[in-house]
């Protein structure tokens, strides 16, 4: 089943990126967030991403105009009632997710598939907040969504084969690679990536090397496109901390203890690029 009308809940960097790739593939896309300002920021990010693609001939002006025309926005979650496929991309807060999935279950068509772009929270738990757990699944995109090829498909305990197949098919239609992973804390990508980032923060905390040296070490020493501290700022330090806490609580192993320096930065509101300060300072934010 290829959806006719897709809903994206959350217009942050992930939500906007997901809306962009859905619309790029001809799907009518409705993006919902709580404020007009958030929607405007999301649309702005989509426009500037499209402009970068046009500049390097990966998209024509006409395609850009058509893509933007396929995206409608709203501040009312009820506006998802026509959608047959919804992807939630709000903050990594379990209580909030349970609440919105219960709402989506009431609002959306009976046949609609409800996906979460959560980077670490249990899909089984999210699905249990609805009366259609067989149609709830994790569809985890990577940032920046228009460029990154991977989608993790996370099957909750009650997710049906049909739902898994529909998400795999859509992922392939979007030109991305689908991998199926088990519903365990952090799934596959963040189970591996976040302890690496956390360890980079410990390396800084213990005075082993400077921010720049840690990033150079991993860029030049392991051919990563971004150093781990640059990547942490890019993802958002609040998101990194939330994921480490899910790993720590969910797996009960002290090796996942979030670095105290990461906790302090989040307490200070130094959340990375989005707030203008993380491990680096970003001018003009
Ligand atoms: N839309 C369109 N184009 C974009 C873009 C966007 N959002 N972001 C970057 N680009 C383009 C740039 O215009 C540029 O194009 P040209 O090569 O034609 O000039 C190209 O991508 C490269 O960009 P930059 O020169 O600015 O920087 P870069 O070479 O470092 O590449 C990057 C940027 C692709 C993001 C690269 O650094 C990278 O792959 N970084 C790692 C990203 C990563 O690991 N993401 C996963 C994070 S984990 C996650 O998302 C899951 C989670 O749950 C936390």
Find out whether 228 and 200 touch, Cβ atoms under 8 Å.
yes
Residues in the chain: 285
* Confidence (pTM): 0.94
20, 195, 225, 231, best to mutate for ligand 1 pocket (most atoms within 8 Å of CB): 225
Question: pLDDT for 99-117, tens place per residue?
Answer: 999 999 999 999 999 999 9
Q: Is 140 a catalytic residue?
A: yes
Question: pLDDT for 253-271, tens place per residue?
Answer: 999 999 999 999 999 999 9
Average pLDDT score, the chain: 96
pLDDT for position 164: 98
User: Where are the chain's structural domains?
Assistant: 5-182, 189-275
Q: Is 152 a catalytic residue?
A: yes
Q: Is the pLDDT of residue 285 over 70?
A: no
**pLDDT band at residue 283 using 50, 70 and 90 as cut-offs:** confident
Question: pLDDT for 164-195, tens place per residue?
Answer: 999 999 999 999 999 999 999 999 999 999 99
pLDDT for position 18: 98
Percent of the chain with pLDDT strictly greater than 90: 96
Q: Is the pLDDT of residue 284 over 80?
A: no
In three-state secondary structure terms, 154 is strand
Q: Is 76 a catalytic residue?
A: no
In which element (H, E) is residue 200 found? helix 189-205
Cβ-count burial 127-142 (b if 16+ within 10 Å, e if not): bbbbebbebbbbbbbb
- The encoded tokens of residue 85 equal 């496929």
In three-state secondary structure terms, 33 is coil
CATH number 3.40.50.10110 is the correct assignment for the domain at 189-275: no
5-182 maps to which CATH number? 3.40.50.720
Q: Which of 49, 116, 120, 190 is catalytic?
A: 190
Which position has the token pair 């999210």? 126
């Amino acid at each position: 089943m290829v959806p006719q009308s897709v809903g994206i809940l959350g217009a942050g960097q992930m939500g906007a990126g997901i809306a962009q790739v859905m619309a790029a593939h001809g799907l009518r896309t409705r993006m919902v967030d709580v404020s007009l300002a958030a929607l405007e920021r999301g649309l702005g990010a989509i426009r500037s991403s499209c402009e970068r693609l046009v500049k390097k001939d990966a998209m024509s002006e006409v395609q850009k105009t058509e893509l933007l025309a396929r995206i409608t926005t709203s501040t009312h979650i009820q506006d998802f009632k026509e959608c047959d496929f919804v992807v939630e991309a709000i903050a990594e807060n379990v209580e909030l997710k349970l609440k919105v999935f219960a709402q989506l279950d009431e609002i959306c068509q009976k046949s609609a598939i409800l996906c979460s772009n959560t980077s670490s929270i249990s899909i089984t738990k999210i699905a249990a907040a609805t009366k259609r757990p067989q149609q709830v699944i994790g569809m985890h995109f990577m940032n920046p969504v228009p460029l990154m090829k991977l989608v993790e498909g996370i099957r909750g305990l009650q997710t049906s084969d049909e739902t898994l197949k529909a998400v795999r098919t859509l992922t392939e239609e979007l030109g991305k690679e689908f991998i199926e992973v088990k519903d365990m804390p952090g799934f596959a990508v963040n189970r591996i990536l976040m302890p690496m980032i956390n360890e980079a923060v410990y390396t800084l905390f213990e005075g082993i090397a400077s921010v720049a040296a840690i990033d150079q070490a991993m860029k030049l020493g392991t051919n990563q496109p971004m150093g781990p501290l640059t990547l942490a700022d890019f993802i958002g330090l609040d998101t990194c901390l939330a994921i480490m806490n899910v790993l720590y609580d969910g797996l009960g192993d002290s090796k996942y203890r979030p670095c105290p320096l990461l906790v302090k930065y989040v307490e200070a509101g130094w959340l990375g690029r989005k707030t203008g300060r993380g491990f680096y300072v970003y001018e003009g934010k």
